[in-house]
Amino acid sequence: MESELSTPIPAIEGVDVSRSFGGVRALHEASFSADFGEVHALVGENGAGKSTMIKILSGVLRPDAGTIRIRGEDVDFRNPHDARALGVGTVFQELTLMPWMTVAENLFLRHEPRGRTRLIRRRELVDRAHDHFEHLGIQGIDPRELPAALTLAQRQVIEVARALLRDPEILFLDEPTSALAEQEAEWLFGLVRSLRARGTAVIFTSHRWSEVANLADRITIFRNGERVDTRDSLTEGEAVTLMTGRTIDRMYPERPALPVGAETVLDVRDLQGEHVNGVSFALRKGEILGIGGLAGQGQRDLFMTLFGARKSSGGEIRVDGRARRIRKPSDAIKLGLGIALVPEDRKTEGLMLPMSVRDNLTLAVLGRVAVYGVLNPGAEHEHVRRAVERLQIRTTRPTVQEVGTLSGGNQQKVLLGRWLLAQSDVLLFYDITRGVDVGTKHDIYELMMELVREGKSLLFYSSETEEVARLCHRVLVMREGRVAAELKGENTDAEAIVAAAVREFAA
C-alpha cells in the first residue's frame, strides 16, 4: 500500500466486508488480504469475526456488503464450489466428515474417480486415498475405516488432507490444531511451511500464541468484527492488548498458597476403570491438583469415572474421609462434586444448546430452586443473575437466549456457572479453556483462584501443558491410565511435565 510498484497483487482480499446474523453484527467493514507464499495468522477473541471472514472468503457465507477479490479480480461466490474452483481450499473449525462413510469416500466426496460408465470406481477410490495420504506423510489412517471409529485428531488430519486434495493455491485453516496433539500439530506445521515454499497462501487461526509466533509471516488482529491491525511481528503482550482492547499485565494469576495442614477432601485409592489402571491421589481443601501427560493417557476417563459417568471396576473414593460409592453422576453431585468437562468437539456433552442460558445454569440445582418439584421462579432468577454476573457471561436475556447462540467462550462459562450454583466443594475441570480466547481464559484463571481462596478444591486438566504447570499446586503426570510421576512446587514447569510424560516408567 505504501508503494504501488513493489506491492504484489494479493492472492485473496476481502474489502470492507460486513455481515450480520439476525441483528448481531459479526463483521463490520472489515478488510483482510493475504499474499501468495506467505503464512498469515488471523487472531482475535471468540466472536471477533475471524471464522465469519474465512467463511465468506471460502464461499460458505455471502457478505451483506463488501468485495472479494482473487488475484486482484472481483469475484462473487455463490457457494463453496465456486471458491474451490478458483483454488480456495478450506479446513473449517467444525468438522465436516461424514461419520458413516469411509475415509476414502469422505476425501473424494463429489470428486470421486469415475469410469466410462460414470459409475464410481470404488477400488480406485481407496488406492487414490492411500496415495494421497502417503504423499502428505500421513500414516496410520486406513482409507477404508469409518471416521466414527477414528480419534478426533485423526479426523482433523483427514479434513486437512481433503482440503489439499485439489492443490489449492489459497488455503484457509480455521483453528486446525485445536484437536491435534503435539506430534500431529508438528506434522501440520511442516506441511504449512512446505506449502508456503511452493507459493501457496496459507491463512490460519489459532488461540495458541506459540503457533502464531512460530509460523506466521504476518499477523492480522480482529476485534468485535473489525480489523484492528496487520503486523509482521508482535509480542504476545501486544497481541493480547490489541485483541482484547485491555491490558492484561499477567497472563497467569498468582496462585494462593496452600494452607498448611489442609485436610483431604477427596481421597482416591487405586481407582480402576476403563483406561484407568489404579490411580491414587489425595486432593486437599483449597488445592488445585493438576493432571498432566500426553493426550489420551486416561485423563478424560479418570474424570468421567470420578464423576460416575463411567463405571469404576475397583478402588475406593473417600469424600471428606468417608468411603463413598459413586455409581452415577447424581451420586457425585449429592456428595458435592461438580464437573466441567469440555467435550472434544465442544458440542455434544454438557450443555443443551437449544435450551436457554437459565435452564442450562440451573439444571444441577433444580432441587434447590424448586418447592415440592415446582420451580420457584424468584429463586431461580436470583441464582441465574448471580452466576451471570460473577462469570461475566455475555448474554442479553439469560431467560430466553439459547446457549447455542452464545460464543464458544461464553458457552464454557455457562458450563462452569452450573457448578458454581451447585456450590460444589470439589470441582473437576477438564480442558475448560480449549478453544477459548485469551480474555476469557484470563477470566477463567481468575475464577479458579477465587474458588480455591473460598476453600474449594479443583482437579484440573488442560491440553495446554503450560496452563497445568502455571496454575496448579501439584501435578500428577498420567501415562497409560496410571500416575507416572508427581511434581510439586517450584520445579513444576511445562518442560518438566512433558519430560515426565515421555519418560519410561521407572522399574
Partner 1 sequence: MTTGAVATPAPRYRSRSRLQHLTVQSAPLLLALIILAGMVALYVGLFFRQLSRFPGMFEWTSVVNTSMPLVFTAVGQSVVVLTRGLDLSVGGMMDLTNGFAAVHMHAGAGSMLGWSLVVLLIGAAGGAINGVLVAYARLQPILVTLASLSIYQGLAIKVLPEPGGSIPLGYTNILANPNGPTGLVFVGVIIAFWFIFRRTRFGVGVFAIGNDEEAARAHGTPVRMVKIGAYMVSGVFAACGGLFFAATTTAGDATSGDVFILTSIAAVVLGGISFFGGRGSAIGTVAGAFILTLLTNVLFFANIDPLYQSFFQGLFLVVAVLLGTLIRRVVRLR
Distances (CA, A) of 336 to 317, 318, 396, 427, 431: 13, 12, 31, 9, 20
Residue choice 2, 23, 78, 118 for contact with partner 1 (CB under 8 A): 118
Minimum CB distance to partner 1, residue 258 (Å): 36
| 151 touching partner 1, by CB under 8 A | yes
Residues in the chain: 507
SS3 46: coil
Closer residue to partner 1, CB minimum distance, 114 or 325: 114
**181 makes contact with partner 1 (CB under 8 A):** yes
The correct pick among 5, 119, 374, 507 for binding partner 1 (CB under 8 A) is: 119
d(CA 337, CA 329): 9
Three-state secondary structure call for residue 396 = coil
x/- string (CB under 8 A) for partner 1, residues 276-295?
Answer: --------------------
* Interface segment toward partner 1; rule CB under 8 A; list 69-77, 149-157, 323-331, 379-387: 149-157
Paired strand residues for 223 = 226
Q: Which is nearer to partner 1, 201 or 268 (CB)?
A: 201
Element (H, E) at 39: strand 39-43
- Sole window of 1-9, 179-187, 376-384, 494-502 interacting with partner 1 (rule: CB under 8 A): 179-187
Q: Are 359 and 352 in contact (CB under 8 A)?
A: yes
CB of 98 to partner 1, least distance (A): 4
Q: Residues with Cβ < 8 Å from 378, sequence gap 6 or more?
A: none
Residue (84 or 227) nearer to partner 1, CB: 84
Single residue of 12, 68, 91, 195 touching partner 1 by CB under 8 A:
195
| Piece of 45-53, 114-122, 208-216, 343-351 that binds partner 1 (CB under 8 A) | 114-122
Does residue number 7 form part of the binding site for partner 1 (CB under 8 A)?
Answer: no
Cβ 294 to partner 1 shortest distance, Å: 9
CA angle, 326 then 329 then 333, to 5°: 90
DSSP for residue 383: H
Other beta carbons less than 10 A from residue 79's beta carbon:
10
97 Cβ contact partners less than 8 Å away, ≥ 6 residues apart = 106, 147, 155, 158, 159
Which positions from 122 to 141 touch partner 1 by CB under 8 A, shown as an x/- string?
A: x------------xxxxxxx
**Site track 83-112 with partner 1 (rule: CB under 8 A), x = hit:** -x-------x---xxxxxxx--x---xx-x
145 binds partner 1 (CB under 8 A): yes
What's the min distance (Å) between Cβ of 27 and partner 1? 19
- Residue 464 interacts with partner 1 (CB under 8 A): yes or no: no
Amino acid, single-letter form, for residue 410? N
* Contact of 420 with 391, CB cutoff 8 Å: yes
Q: Please, which of residues 21-80 interact with partner 1 by CB under 8 A?
A: 60, 79-80
Shortest reach from residue 412's CB to partner 1, in Å: 23
Of 25, 28, 187, 309, the one binding partner 1 (CB under 8 A) is 187
Nearer to partner 1, 33 or 52 (CB): 52
Under DSSP, the state recorded for 506 is P
Helix residue spans in 58-175 (DSSP H):
80-85, 103-107, 122-136, 152-163
Query: Which residue among 86, 120, 165, 363 contacts partner 1 (CB under 8 A)?
Result: 120
Q: What is the CA radius of gyration of the chain?
A: 24
Name the grid cell of 460: 484440573
Give the Å distances, CA to CA, from 381 to 338, 361, 376: 21, 11, 9
Binding site for partner 1 (CB under 8 A): 60, 79-81, 84, 92, 96-102, 105, 109-110, 112, 118-120, 122, 135-142, 144-146, 148-151, 153-154, 157, 181, 183-184, 186-187, 189-191, 194-195
